Each structure stands twice: as structure tokens, then as C-alpha cells.
A and B are shown apart, each in its own frame.
Chain A
Amino acid sequence: MDRSKLAFVVAAFALLAAFPLVAGAYGIDLVTKIMIYAVFALSLELLVGSTGLVCFGHAAFLGIGAYAAVLLSPQDAAPSILWLLPACVAAAAAYALAVGALSLRTKGVYFIMVTLAFAQMAYYVVHDTPLGGGTDGIYLYIKPALLDKARPFYFFTLACLGGVFVLLALLLRSRFGRALAGIRVNEQRMRATGFSTYPYKLAAFTISGGLAGLAGFLFAVKDGYVNPELLSWHLSGAVLIMIILGGLGHLRGALIGAFAFALLQEFFKSEAVFGGFAKHWHLGLGLAIIACVALLPHGLVGVPGQIRARLVGRRTGVAR
């Protein structure tokens, strides 16, 4: 990571840490939600951006983490996050290990659809069986100590986000991360140089699922409530859109994408700006997304580069 990128990330986290000083309850709730989305987006970025595996069923891992948080909590006492959080991550990672072991046999669009299939299976298990409480979902009556207030939970989420970001940054710089990059660029060649790529991909898939489970745990504790929509393909699609919007292949992209997607949504939903038209907020969001594809081929992360290229082009044009 060069200096300007590092400065951007440090500044972003500093801003997030300072935000509760100025924000009200609504702002804190919104940014907490977006930070959880960012954790989720980062977990998917490890697969899509870093390894080149497009998973279209990522919400299943988030949902399993969330349901684990509710189902494992005792009815009459506050759970301790010391065991609950690892248990949620482990539950999601276990399902990811099973799904990955099977679906990594396929490639490309087929892989996309197999991951969707496994996610839909998990969706129907919580949707149609008594285990998950059906469409109504289930409540988490007693939240873990300290995390039942908005501000402490905000900082806990921020710490999780920071932890995941640092973990992935280190992971991608390690030998393991280099191998994943090699698989993304040319898997055939990686195999020819003597790497057995399957275990690497499976490890990445499992880690990614576990981190999505962390995001699910955070969702369950934030809302005190889980429902099958957490596993729906709409959410899998939305998180994919976030990281593409932000710019694939950069951890910052997942952060920027989660914030851009959620804030665009809030902007087009706001009645203060659009009045009665705000209920048609999908239209604005859709047009904004189309404009992003047309104008920003490298996602939001690529914007500074594009501006720089434009400026340099103009300068050399003048010199000529």
C-alpha cells in the first residue's frame, strides 16, 4: 500500500471514530449499519476481487452467523461475546467449508449459480422449518453486555471493521495472498508452477464465509432480530453491487462501495430532497448505478486515477 492509499484509509477510520462526537441517534444507527455492510463487503472482496471467485450466495453465510447468534444465546441471560462471536464465525465458516468443497469444482458462471443454489437451500431451511421461525424471524431478547447501547456498539462495530480490514490487508500481502492473486490472474499457470490451487481457494472461501458470519453476528446484535431476508439473494446481489461499485481488487473499494451504495440509497430515499418522489427512490439509484458503469469503468476507487490521467493528458496536449 503506498502512502496516499494508507493516508486515505487512516483518515477514513479517524473520521469514523470521530463521527459519534457530532452525530445524533439516527446518524449513529445509519453509520453502524453501513459499517456492518462494509465488513460483509470486505469478506466478499477477498473472494471476488482478490481471488476472482464470484460468489452469488454470500448472504447465506451472513444469515447463518446472524441466526447462530440468536439460536445459541440463552433465553434468560445475556450471552458473552467471548464465546458467542467465535461460535457465529465458526458456524458460518463451517457451512462455507462444505459449500466451497463442493462448488469449487465448477467455474465461472456455473460457480456463481452453484453458490446461489446453496444459499437458496439455506434460505429455505430457515424460511420453511420451525428452526428459523419462518418469515416472521426470531428475536434476540437479551443482547450481550455493553453491546446493548448504540454508542458502545458503534465502537465495537468500528473495531471489528478495522480488525477485518487489517487482517485482510496482512493476509493479501502474505504468501497465501500472493497465491490467491496468482489464481485470479491465471490459475492454469499457478498449477503449472506447482501450486495445488484447490486448497488455497477453499481456504479463501472458508475465511470469507467466516467473516461474513461476523457481519451476521453484528446485524443480529444491532437489531435484536433476525429474519430469512438476511439470507435472500437480494442481499447477496446488493453486496456484490457494493464491491463492484467501489472497485474490485482493492480493499478500499469494498469500504467505499458499501458507503456509496448505502448513502446513495439514503439520499434518493430522503423526502427532504425529493419530496413525494422519494418513494420512487429505486429510479434514482438505478440511474446512478448506470451512470457509474458508463463513466467509471474501474469503480469509485479509480476516480483519482482517471482525474490524474485527464489532467496529464490535458497538460501534454497543451505542450504539443
Chain B
Amino acid sequence: MDLTTFLIQCLNALQYGLLLFLVASGLTLIFGIMGVINLAHGSFYMIGAYMAFALAAPVAATFGGGFFSVLAVGLVLAVMLGYVLEWAFYSYLYEREHLQQVLMTYGLILVFEEVRSLLVGDDVHGVAPPPLLAGTLPLGELMTYPVYRLFISGVCIALALGMYLVLTRTRLGMMIRAGSTNREMVQSLGIDIKFLYRVVFAAGVAIAVLAGMVAAPVSSVYPGMGNLVLIICFVVVVIGGIGSIRGALLAALLIGFVDTFGKVLLPSAAGVLVYVLMALILLWKPDGLFKAG
């Protein structure tokens, strides 16, 4: 492998890892703060990708603009979806056992997949990247690299930074962190924990939907895409340590690199590498790399 190929694979790994981080961060926040195992989180990623496909025509007709207005409309819809879902389904799960949560969110996966099938159908679709970002950058003399992939990495890094700042530097972030440590105590200090949970959940959904939307032009849009992402994101969350954003970032990048380079160097064992990695890490550190404190 020469240097340019190596560089390209590094960029691919970075982009994949960052994308995983976006989905996994919502998962780990919802799990760490509200104690809910949300199997349906992969479905939000799927919904985002389908939004990028299905909203393109209606949004262009009503608001004008291209990919970026689709992103904006999709985000608003996602926040609303998260808010309503929390109110209608998830708010009943906080007091329930984990396995009841697993059962209900499994039911939700089935419902989301079928509603998607009813509305958009079961075909595989492609989404064109916005013309502004459709070009390529020259790398070395022969190779080029698509600008859009760099854009994905940029969006992910910006969101990760934003999330970090909100969680560590704002009053809301302080309340969220406090809520994850002791729900009753936060409540008795006069903070509306129900509203707080709803905000966290809506934000988690919105981030997963956004990840799906920006990923759509590179990954294409197909049924069952949510389930693939869900399992790999659980791997990320568990390797990183449940509830830890920092751990999720590190684990996502680790998975991104192992998976990308595994496919290049050891194609026959690529699928299994991620799981071998997870087993080794958990046998070495049974609580993940960063246990949330």
C-alpha cells in the first residue's frame, strides 16, 4: 500500500468512524442519562437517509433550495419526531425493566420499517450530493478524493464539538449531567426532569437523523440499513463505556479504522474483526474504555 492509498483509507476510516460516533452518541446519551436501551435508534438513522431521498422533491417545490434546505427541514421534523415519540412511548419505559424496553423498542423497529415500506417502498435509492460539494480533490498525481466525504467529516467534527461545549459549558449541559447521576436529586432541586429527558431524547433522535441524511449520498438508501448501524453502534457504545461521549468518540474512530483497514488488508476476515476487537477490549476492561463517572 503506497502513501496515497494509505491516506485515502485513513480519510475513509475517519469519515466512517465519525459518522458512527454521531449515531452512537445519541444512543449512549439516551442510555446513560435515561437508562433506556433504545433498539430503535438505528431506525432513526434509516429514517434520516430516507428523508434525504424522499424530501428532496417536495422541499425543492415548496421552499426551493437543494440539499441544505432538505437538511434543515429534516432536522426540524426529526426534533418533532423525537419529542412526540418520547411523549407517546419512551416516557413509559423509564420505570420498566431493561428487557421490557428491549421488547418495546424492538416492536418500534418493526413498525418503522413497515411504515417506511408503505410510504417509500422497498427499492434501493441513490441520493446525489449537492452540486457545491460534488467535486473531487486531487491527491498525489493519480488519485482524487471526493469533497463530499470531507464535508461529512467536517459536519461530524462540528457536531461533536458543539455537543461537547453544550454538555460541559452550559447550564443545560450541567442539568443533563446531573440528571444522569441522580434523577431524584435533580428533581427535588426543582428541575423539570421530564422536560429535560424529552430534550435529550429529541436531540439524540435529531443527531441520528442528521447522520442518516448526510450519509445518504455516500451509502445509498436501502431497507434494513438501520439494523446494520444499530448493532455496530452498540458495539461502539459498549467499547467506549456506557454513557461516555468521550469513550464513544474514541471507540467509533477505533472501529472506523479497524473496519476500513480490515477490509483492505484482510478482506476474508473483515466482518469478524470488529467483534474480535470488542471481545478483547471487554475481556481486558469489563466496563469499557471510559466508564461514565
Using a CB–CB cutoff of 8 Å, the interface residues on chain A facing chain B are 48, 54, 102-103, 105-107, 109-110, 113-114, 116-118, 120-121, 124-125, 127-128, 233, 237, 240-241, 244-245, 248, 280, 282-283, 285-290, 292-294, 297
Residues in A with CB closer than 8 Å to B215 are: none
Given A107-B286, A282-B113, 12 extra CB contacts under 8 A: A102-B283, A109-B98, A113-B234, A117-B282, A120-B272, A127-B271, A241-B106, A245-B103, A283-B114, A283-B118, A285-B110, A289-B107
Residues of B within 8 A of A237 (CB): 106
Q: 6 tightest CB-CB pairs across the interface, nearest first?
A: A286-B110, A289-B107, A283-B114, A286-B111, A124-B272, A290-B107
Q: Say yes or no: B282 contacts A110, CB within 8 Å.
A: yes
Using CB atoms, name the residue of chain B closest to A107: B286
Interface size of B in residues (CB-CB distance below 8 Å): 40
Q: Are A287 and B282 in contact (CB under 8 A)?
A: no
CB-based nearest B residue for A48: B99
Nearest chain B residue, comparing its CB with the CB of A288: B107
Within 60-111 of B, Cβ neighbours of A (below 8 Å) are at 89, 92, 96, 98-100, 102-104, 106-111
Is B159 part of the contact surface with A, judged by Cβ < 8 Å?
A: no
Alpha-carbon distance between A294 and B104 when the two chains are bound, in angstroms: 8
Of A113, A116, A241, the most chain B CB neighbours within 10 A belong to: A113
Q: How far is the CA of A248 from the CA of B235 in the complex (A)?
A: 26
Q: Given the interface contacts A106-B282, A128-B268, A244-B99, does A286 sit within 8 Å of B235 by beta carbon?
A: no
Output the nearest chain B residue to A292 by Cβ-Cβ distance.
Answer: B103
What is the CA–CA distance of A182 and B96 in the complex, to the nearest angstrom?
22
List 8 contacting pairs A-B, 8 Å CB cutoff, sorted by A.
Answer: A105-B283, A106-B286, A110-B288, A121-B272, A124-B272, A248-B99, A293-B107, A297-B96
**CB of B278 within 8 Å of the partner chain:** yes
Q: Are A290 and B108 in contact (CB under 8 A)?
A: yes
Among A110, A285, A287, A297, the residue within 8 A (CB) of B286 is A110
Question: In the bound complex, do residue B272 and residue A289 qualify as a contact, i.e. CB atoms below 8 Å apart?
Answer: no
Q: Which residues of A contact B108 (CB under 8 A)?
A: 286, 290
Counting chain B CB atoms within 10 Å of each CB, the highest count among A103, A110, A293, A294 belongs to: A293
Which residues of A have CB within 8 Å of B96? 293, 297
Indicate whether A128 sits within 8 Å of B269 (C-beta atoms), given known contacts A240-B102, A244-B99, A294-B92.
yes
Residues of A within 8 A of B106 (CB): 237, 241, 286, 289
A245 to B99, CA, bound (A): 10
By beta carbon, the residue of chain B nearest A102 is: B283
Contact B231 A233 (CB under 8 A): yes
**Cβ–Cβ contact A287 & B102, under 8 A:** no
B133 located at the interface, meaning its Cβ lies under 8 Å from any Cβ of chain A in the complex: no
Cβ-defined partner of A286 (8 Å) among B114, B231, B238, B288: B114
Contact A109 B110 (CB under 8 A): no
Distance between Cα atoms of A48 and B100 in the complex (Å): 13
Question: Which residues from chain A contact B98 at a C-beta distance below 8 Å?
Answer: 54, 109
